[in-house]
Structure 1
Amino acid sequence: MWGYGVKALLLLGARDLRLEEVEEPRPLPEWVLIKVERVGICGTDKAMYSGTYKLLKKPLIPGHEVSGIVVDVGEGVSRDLVGHRVTTEINVYCGRCWYCRSGIYTHCPYRETIGITRNGGMAEYMVTRRDLIHVVDDLTPLQAAFIEPLAAVVEMIEMEPVKPLNRVAVIGVGAIGLLAIQVLKLFEPELLVAVSRPGSPKARLARELGADLVVDYQELSEVVKKDTPEGQGFDYVVEATGSSSGLEVALDAARPRGVVALKSTHGSPVSFDQTKAVVKELRLSTSRCGPFDKAISLLRKRMVVVDKLVTSEYPLTRGVEAFEKSFERDQVKIHLVT
């Protein structure tokens, strides 16, 4: 099935990740070939690796938080792109269906998703469609590899806006939680609280990046009682724990008619107290892929800091070790560097 030429990480099943030589991809008409510089390991990648998120393609080259250099182009694409640093959106949509014509291309029923249903960036080279790339020569490879997750945070706020002077809680201080803290801080909340597991080594980062207060799960109920109106909860709660238990914590922390924004894609079924959510009249908001242009603007203007979020770097050849490391408590974001 596979030829030879370039190194790639192939995921074949739960904790079955292998470094293999595969045939170098070639760009089709209107596609480009990218020499990958960096790719991040995200929560979805970890869930596919652990087996909680169903693997939709076997074998799969994972990875969708990518930065790299265009080294070749297919027919119909200007060679002026060669040599430029780019990142790529992950939804390869059809452009013809009702969803695409309505501007909802991320939900095109005929789409392929880079790193999930088609091969992604955990390889020396990858291909993507010309209209999906963004040229980001003015960003570092590290910054460019954060555009996709930052765009997902922007989408969360576009789907359910936060208001100035809201009291906000971010539950979970992984990469998405720490990006959310920074973006939410721009809206000047009355109070911004980060919630971590007891003894989390990542709590320090949450403080550095803008949280007014960092507490653990056990302390959260006291903060709700003391620091929210009538002790009833936060206006806006972000659930970014990456676990199936996070939703119930978020429901408890939100005030009546508050917002609970869900960002975890752990792949596991979740049960929650629906009666509580209905009685409190909560708005549950879900979101995933977002606007790359706005994420790029935030990075260019230095309104969001990402360098501190990379806690480990590994060469592609140590990909299995990198994935195992990503489950350790002190890790925020691990980058594979080619």
Structure 2
Amino acid sequence: MRALYFDEKLSMVEVPKPSPEDGEALIKVLAAGICNTDIEIVKGYMGFKGIPGHEFVGIVEKSADPRWVGKRVVGEINIACNECDLCKIGLKKHCRNIKVLGIKDWNGAFAEYLVLPVENLHEVPSKVSNRQAVFVEPLAAAIQILEQVHIKPTDRVCVIGDGKLGLLISLSLNAHGVKHILVGKHPEKMKIVSDRGVSTLFPGDVQSFDRFFDVVIEATGNQAGLETALNIIRPQGTVVLKSTYASKASVDLSKVVVNEINIIGSRCGPFEPALQLLEKDLIDVNPLVSQVLPFEKALEAFELAKTKGTLKVILEVEK
């Protein structure tokens, strides 16, 4: 089968079609999205070698549970051992032996086929298109913030970053009735959420909000966003970190200690609420799609995804 393979450099190769083991399903990939984590991987993040890609939709061709065969699915990306102490207390996505689709020790979705445990699969409602379904994984990550932080109606909330994830977080908060401000640099991107009633600011303007916000969500993917978050969060406020970096970020921990700032790392989230938001048309992800390219143009798609101003680039693997 054709696959996009990373081993110090990215290339299109022919590799054997994977074979599902006990408890796993073989999935024919229909479409896959390129996200910032994929871009960081090709810079060296996680030291990954193999087939990247973790945002996908596909059709189950073989399954340990035959009821899944023929179903259109998305899949949670964490593959747990189900045996370690963390798995046994319900922290499967923090499993001591964790494998992560397209990120750590498990080949991903930039290929014609992939395998995943059946327990990771979620059926896609017929009303949700393939292009929408590609957004389920990052949308679930956005929803995870509301699972981790109790945001009160009176809280002053700020999202920093108008990239793919920042916009999804803003759209998710808006769909859940959480008033907030989005800080970004690109008027055309910020318009996606301002058209839905979200207030927006440029980075230079938000600096005047010294120690003002109750909750700040950092989703810029760079250290400047983290520094801004620590400047505008009020004492005893909560900063939620959504960015991953290939290089290490330095933090002024004295500011965190003196202002008693709560810092929460936030990663993957629940798929079912994300699917419901898309099925009920409570979130429109179509404005976030910059380009859809056929799989044979995967290398070109990656270069496009790296370009400033580009939002989601989707690879159409099977029409």
| 8 Å contact kept, 2:59–2:73 | yes
| 8 Å contact kept, 1:200–1:329 | no
Shift of 1:210: 4.0
Corresponding position of 2:98: 111
Q: Residues 267 and 163 from structure 1, CA distance in 2 versus in 1: closer, same or farther, beyond 3 angstroms?
A: farther
Corresponding position of 1:227: none
Corresponding position of 2:5: 10
Q: Does 1:252 align with 2:231?
A: yes
Q: Does 1:61 align with 2:51?
A: yes
Corresponding position of 2:139: 150
Secondary structure (helix, strand or coil) at the match of 1:308 reads: helix
Which residue, 83, 91, 95 being the options, matches 1:96? 83
Shift of 1:71: 1.7
Shift of 1:203: 2.1
Secondary structure (helix, strand or coil) at the match of 1:245 reads: helix
Secondary structure (helix, strand or coil) at the match of 1:35 reads: strand
**What per-residue deviation string (whole Å, max 9, x for no partner) do you get for residues 81-134 of structure 1?**
222100111111111221111111001111211101210000011111111111
| 8 Å contact kept, 1:67–1:85 | yes
Gaps of 5+ in 2: none
Mapped partners of 2:166, 2:196: distance in 1: 11
**What per-residue deviation string (whole Å, max 9, x for no partner) do you get for residues 234-288 of structure 1?**
1111100011221101111211221111000122211122122222211111111
| 8 Å contact kept, 2:157–2:181 | yes
Secondary structure (helix, strand or coil) at the match of 2:180 reads: strand
Pairwise mapping of residues 137-286 of structure 1 onto structure 2 (< 5 A)? 137-138=125-126, 139-189=128-178, 191-197=179-185, 199-212=186-199, 214-222=200-208, 224=209, 232-286=211-265
Range moving further from structure 2, 272-281 or 89-98: 272-281
Range moving further from structure 2, 232-241 or 294-303: 294-303
**What is the root-mean-square deviation in Å for CA atoms of aligned residues?**
1.6
| 8 Å contact kept, 1:181–1:206 | yes
Mapped partners of 2:246, 2:27: distance in 1: 29
Mapped partners of 1:216, 1:242: distance in 2: 16
TM-score normalised according to structure 1 size: 0.89
Shift of 1:335: 0.9
* Percent of paired sites with the same residue: 38
| 8 Å contact kept, 1:182–1:210 | no
Mapped partners of 1:183, 1:163: distance in 2: 16
Shift of 1:187: 4.6
| 8 Å contact kept, 1:43–1:266 | no
Secondary structure (helix, strand or coil) at the match of 1:127 reads: strand
